[in-house]
Amino acid sequence: MAVTMRDVARRAGVSAKTVSNVVNGYPYIKPETRDRVLAAIEELGYQMNATARSLRTGRTGIIGLALPELRVPYFAELAGAVIAAAEECGLTVIIEQHGGRRDLELEVLTGARRHLTDGLIYSPLALGTDDAASLLDLSYPLVLLGERVFHPDIDHVTMQNTAAARAATEHLLRAGRRRIVALGPNPTQDVGSAPLRLTGYREAHEAAGLAVDPVLVVPTIRTWDHATGARTVGRLLDDGVDFDAVFAFNDSLALGAMHEIQVRGLRVPDDVAVVGFDAIDEGRYSNPTLTTIDPGRTVIPREAVRLLDERRRGVAGGARRIAPDFQLVPGGSTGAPDRAAATAAVG
Amino acid sequence: MAVTMRDVARRAGVSAKTVSNVVNGYPYIKPETRDRVLAAIEELGYQMNATARSLRTGRTGIIGLALPELRVPYFAELAGAVIAAAEECGLTVIIEQHGGRRDLELEVLTGARRHLTDGLIYSPLALGTDDAASLLDLSYPLVLLGERVFHPDIDHVTMQNTAAARAATEHLLRAGRRRIVALGPNPTQDVGSAPLRLTGYREAHEAAGLAVDPVLVVPTIRTWDHATGARTVGRLLDDGVDFDAVFAFNDSLALGAMHEIQVRGLRVPDDVAVVGFDAIDEGRYSNPTLTTIDPGRTVIPREAVRLLDERRRGVAGGARRIAPDFQLVPGGSTGAPDRAAATAAVG
DNA sequence: ATGAAAGCGCTAACAT
DNA sequence: ATGTTAGCGCTTTCAT
């Protein structure tokens, strides 16, 4: 059997409650008593039983992070950063993969794991505005990532989707590209990143006084991965669609597209320039490197954890909405020079 | 306050213990009683308090997965698969990132989270054989990934490192390459994947009656990532080392190397062929696609969870060691044709 | 500044 | 086949 508070208390000649007070940083303890307790803890190698504490307090110190799939690089990087940020707050994270399946996304909200966690950071893919109701009468703190299920009464951490997409498109227009594919919109999706990014794409064209050729607005399935990017661009090429640039709605799509373009014997960026979105690590070592949008990749996980922790501790007021500054990251896929690594390391 | 077993019991006109029996699948219950209980559960929307059960049983149904960093694609894919496999067993996973830092790797073993988990799947990077002792007197089930801290009394899930590395090298030799860089060994590392893979590299040369030029055995730091691969190969090129192939000890190194080679204006595979190790998703859409070793990427996570769950449930005997079959995955980086995606989708 | 008693919700052990 | 009792290890009253 493990060492308990009673054991420590006996050893220190105090009551269990005093040990509890010491462990929890209760201030009004005679220094001498505290020292005796700390010594006893040390000697016995006492470690608190988190389960017992949770049963009593109703809080576990665990938060959930629900996302589509960990194997998708964007979510892997997000999860790594969320875990690190949670650690700073003394919180533990459990990751739940819903695969973008609607039934699983809903189950996450009410499933058994919600008893294990103090709150949830939630990145849905299939839910829409209609589902906002499901999110409003939850009995635990919730922070939403993205804005598929936007509701003003829920904490959100999101991106400047439209402005960033506009900047990405303007970057291509400035480089003289005039037939820019928008890769990623989905006709059945009225909410979420896709329509917002498409709006940015359109805004950039309008501002430049250019019309958007509908042929260049190319829907994909919701799974924005390499395979989808490659397959979709492959079909455009098969169909003889004329384009000189691709703005893909995320980096995986962009990298898949870039792969396919080169497999077909075209050059990036000479024949087709490519811009992505997310600034995942992979794009920094692709061939060529990928021009992309950094939507605030370090800020988003940190803020998500902060918002949730504040709710959890009951120190938050009304719902908050955070959309960090974004940044265009130039790469070889739009003609920025791909510097040699050894040289870069020196400089 | 949430609905408890007592509430359900009252409603069903039975004792709490009977509710417990129903919930836990105890067989000897009058069907009619069971139905009444299930109905009461349904009506009240009862969900079990996992914390209370854990306190009573001493088991949480949570397992730990300790790895260097989630942002490293190999570990992200591993973690995703471990979570999925754990789900199948009704287990929840918490991921702990130790960053390959020795102090954190040791802390994982004895930290507070070990009270929260029933066992640990452990993938160390900094520990060595000397640390085996730290792993032997742990009071919880442990499954080791890799063989940095090999010990016959601990469950291991590992790879056929030497045989697979030999196959990778032979693949390059068969293609007529004669100056193959071994990218990844570390002179200070006597255990783990690196020396085993180096042995495979040497064996392939010996079997072909070829000597290994020591200049081609190129150490890297332990962080086998893109940047390391690019930087190290960059230095070889700067130094004018003559080579016509690279066998990188993982895919990230390989992709970083491939990037740098192409940045310098050389062609892959014409000037330099490249082979990696791990078969991460990224290599399937790189330019060119990456030839690599699949060390059993689907088997490893599944088996790790199975071994741990068996120990946890106390149904395991002596220590087991699992090293699944591996497979060479040909890609464009050694001259296999990179098929167009759209065509591939049809065929 | 510290202690005693009670109980969080569940299940093990025993009883019937 | 079901009920009773006790207690997992902690924190929350309330008392001193």
Q: B345 versus B250: which is more confidently predicted? A: B250
How large is the C-alpha radius of gyration of chain A? 25
| 3-state DSSP assignment of residue A310 | helix
Q: Give me the helix-helix angle, A5-12 and A31-44, nearest 10°.
A: 120
Which nucleotides of chain D have an atom under 7 angstroms from any protein CB? 1-5, 7-13
Q: Which chain A residue shows the shortest CA-CA distance from B57?
A: A51
Q: Are A231 and B343 in contact (CB under 8 A)?
A: no
CB contact under 8 Å between A342 and B51, yes or no, is no
Q: What does the pLDDT average to over B13-21?
A: 91
**Distance from the A78 Cα atom to the nearest Cα atom in chain B, whole angstroms:** 8
- Say if A1-43 and A161-294+327-343 have the same CATH topology: no
Nearest to A76 by CA among A62, A95, A89: A95
Alpha carbons A217 and A201: distance in angstroms, whole number: 10
Distance from residue B41's CA to nucleotide D5's C1', rounded to whole Å: 24
Question: Which residues of chain A neighbour B238 with C-beta distances below 8 Å?
Answer: 342
Q: B315 versus B5: which is more confidently predicted? A: B5
Q: Are B245 and B270 in contact (CB under 8 A)?
A: no
pLDDT surpasses 70 at B345: no
Q: What does the pLDDT average to over A61-89?
A: 97
Instruction: Quick: pLDDT tens for A85-135.
Output: 999 999 999 999 999 999 999 999 999 999 999 999 999 999 988 888 889
Alpha carbons B83 and A96: distance in angstroms, whole number: 8
Assign a CATH topology to domain A62-159+298-316. Answer: Rossmann fold (3.40.50)
Classify the C-alpha dihedral A174-A176-A179-A180 as positive or negative.
negative
| 3-state DSSP assignment of residue A294 | strand
Q: What does the pLDDT average to over A28-55?
A: 92
Q: What percent of chain B lies above the pLDDT cut of 90? A: 85
Alpha carbons A61 and A119: distance in angstroms, whole number: 9
pLDDT of amino acid A346: 40
Residue B114 Cβ under 7 A from any strand D atom: no
Residues 78-137 of A with CB under 8 A from B: 79-81, 83-84, 92-97, 112-113, 115-116
B315 vs A: CB within 8 A: no
| 3-state DSSP assignment of residue B132 | helix
Of B94, B235, B281, the CB nearest to A94: B94
pLDDT surpasses 80 at B152: yes
C1: residue with closest CA to C1': A29
Classify the C-alpha dihedral A215-A219-A220-A226 as positive or negative.
positive
Question: Which residues of chain A neighbour B98 with C-beta distances below 8 Å?
Answer: none
Write down the domain spans for chain B: 1-43, 62-159+298-316, 161-294+327-343
Q: Which nucleotide is nearest to B29 (CA to C1')?
A: D1
Q: Are A115 and B47 in contact (CB under 8 A)?
A: yes
**Distance from the A207 Cα atom to the nearest Cα atom in chain B, whole angstroms:** 35
Output the CATH code of domain B1-43.
1.10.260.40
Alpha carbons B233 and B253: distance in angstroms, whole number: 9
Of B54, B60, B226, the CB nearest to A281: B226
Residues 41-80 of B with CB under 8 A from A: 47-52, 54-55, 60, 62, 69-71, 73, 76-77, 79-80
Q: DSSP character for B212?
A: P
Which nucleotides of chain C have an atom under 7 angstroms from any protein CB? 1-5, 7-13
Retrieve residue A56's tokens. Answer: 């009593």
pLDDT surpasses 60 at A335: yes
Q: What are the φ/ψ torsions at residue A340 (nearest 5 degrees)?
A: -70, 140
pLDDT of amino acid B343: 53
Q: What is the residue-wise DSSP string for A28-44?
A: -S-HHHHHHHHHHHHHH
Q: What does the pLDDT average to over B123-142?
A: 91
B263 vs A: CB within 8 A: yes
The one-letter amino acid code at B204 reads A
Q: What does the pLDDT average to over A271-295?
A: 97
Instruction: Quick: pLDDT tens for B103-120.
Output: 999 999 999 999 999 999
pLDDT of amino acid A347: 31
pLDDT of amino acid A189: 78
Cis peptide before A269 (omega within 30 of 0): yes
Query: How many inter-chain contacts (A to B, CB under 8 Å) are there?
Result: 179
Question: Which residues of chain A neighbour B112 with C-beta distances below 8 Å?
Answer: 47-48, 50
C4: residue with closest CA to C1': A15
The CA-atom distances, in angstroms, between B86 and each of B55, B204, B309, B317 are 21, 38, 9, 21
Question: Which residues of chain B neighbour A263 with C-beta distances below 8 Å?
Answer: 287, 338-341
Q: Which nucleotide is nearest to B30 (CA to C1')?
A: D1
What is the end-to-end Cα distance of chain B in Å, rounded? Answer: 58
Per this entry, what is the length of chain A? 347
Residue A343 pLDDT grade (very low, low, confident, very high; cuts 50, 70, 90): low
**Residues with Cβ < 8 Å from A346, sequence gap 6 or more?**
none
Residue A308 pLDDT grade (very low, low, confident, very high; cuts 50, 70, 90): very high
Q: What does the pLDDT average to over B294-302?
A: 98
Retrieve residue B35's tokens. Answer: 């139905």
The one-letter amino acid code at B102 reads R
Output the CATH code of domain A161-294+327-343.
3.40.50.2300
Q: What are the φ/ψ torsions at residue B162 (nearest 5 degrees)?
A: -70, -50
Question: Which residues of chain B neighbour A281 with C-beta distances below 8 Å?
Answer: 71, 226
Q: What does the pLDDT average to over B115-129?
A: 94
Retrieve residue A225's tokens. Answer: 């991965």
Residue A48 Cβ under 7 A from any strand D atom: yes
Retrieve residue A118's tokens. Answer: 């103090």
Residue B80 Cβ under 7 A from any strand D atom: no
CB contact under 8 Å between A259 and B287, yes or no, is yes
Q: DSSP character for A55?
A: H
